[in-house]
Chains A and B, each alone.
Chain A
Amino acid sequence: AQSVAQPEDQVNVAEGNPLTVKCTYSVSGNPYLFWYVQYPNRGLQFLLKYITGDNLVKGSYGFEAEFNKSQTSFHLKKPSALVSDSALYFCAVRDRGFQKLVFGTGTRLLVSP
């Protein structure tokens, strides 16, 4: 069965500094990988996805993620954090044979001014 691990409950970073939110996955075959962001009292907003091709995926709001097959990781990154990036971030994985999306436990990102 597919699964996702987000090892950090919270990540703290100062505005202007680079940020990384970690994600590792487990699937039986090649994965589809996703990052979503959730702001307070809002639904999930799609940030980016990896399907195939380049390992570095660029997404919305300046975020990017790097797919690393050998380490089964898909870490979310941004070169310069903004206070407005403070939110809850979810990594998700889908096995190519199934439609079901499985989510990690989420990482709260707190960007301080």
Chain B
Amino acid sequence: SAVISQKPSRDICQRGTSLTIQCQVDSQVTMMFWYRQQPGQSLTLIATANQGSEATYESGFVIDKFPISRPNLTFSTLTVSNMSPEDSSIYLCSVALDGDYGYTFGSGTRLTVV
């Protein structure tokens, strides 16, 4: 399985600012995924990020609010823009290894917006 390094592990941010979360994988992977877990809730997929193309966003999530970069096969970033307290959540990146059916998750970024 892959090893994912996700940074930062947690942050407290002022409303109106932006935070960029990084996800580094130790293997080359085609698809990377970004999830949000609101307090006491399940995981919701924000978008799927493929290298060399624009991310595909799920219903309810837009690129202006959650821009994603995928510059190569081992790295991706998610930015949470113009934050409000409602954005306080855990954000997780995930990868699916090519040829495997399992999914590996990063340790998550716990974001608190004040």
Contacts and interface: CB of A to CB of B under 8 A. Distances in A.
Interface residues of B, number: 22
B42 A43 contact: no
A105 B42 contact: yes
A47 to B, nearest CB: 11
A46 B102 contact: yes
A101 B101 contact: no
A103 B33 CA distance: 13
Contacts of B102: 34, 46, 49
Interface string A10-54: 000000000000000000000010101000011111100101000
A26 to B, nearest CB: 16
Contact of A99 (B92, B96, B105): B96
B107 interface: yes
B92 A46 contact: no
A76 to B, nearest CB: 16
B61 interface: no
B104 A46 contact: yes
B107 A43 contact: yes
Contacts of A102: 45
Given A43-B105, A44-B92, A106-B42, 4 more contacts: A34-B103, A42-B108, A99-B96, A101-B103
27 contacts: A36-B105, A41-B110, A43-B6, A43-B92, A43-B106, A43-B107, A43-B108, A44-B43, A44-B92, A44-B105, A45-B105, A46-B103, A46-B105, A49-B102, A90-B43, A92-B103, A99-B33, A99-B48, A100-B45, A101-B33, A101-B45, A101-B103, A103-B43, A103-B44, A104-B42, A105-B41, A105-B42
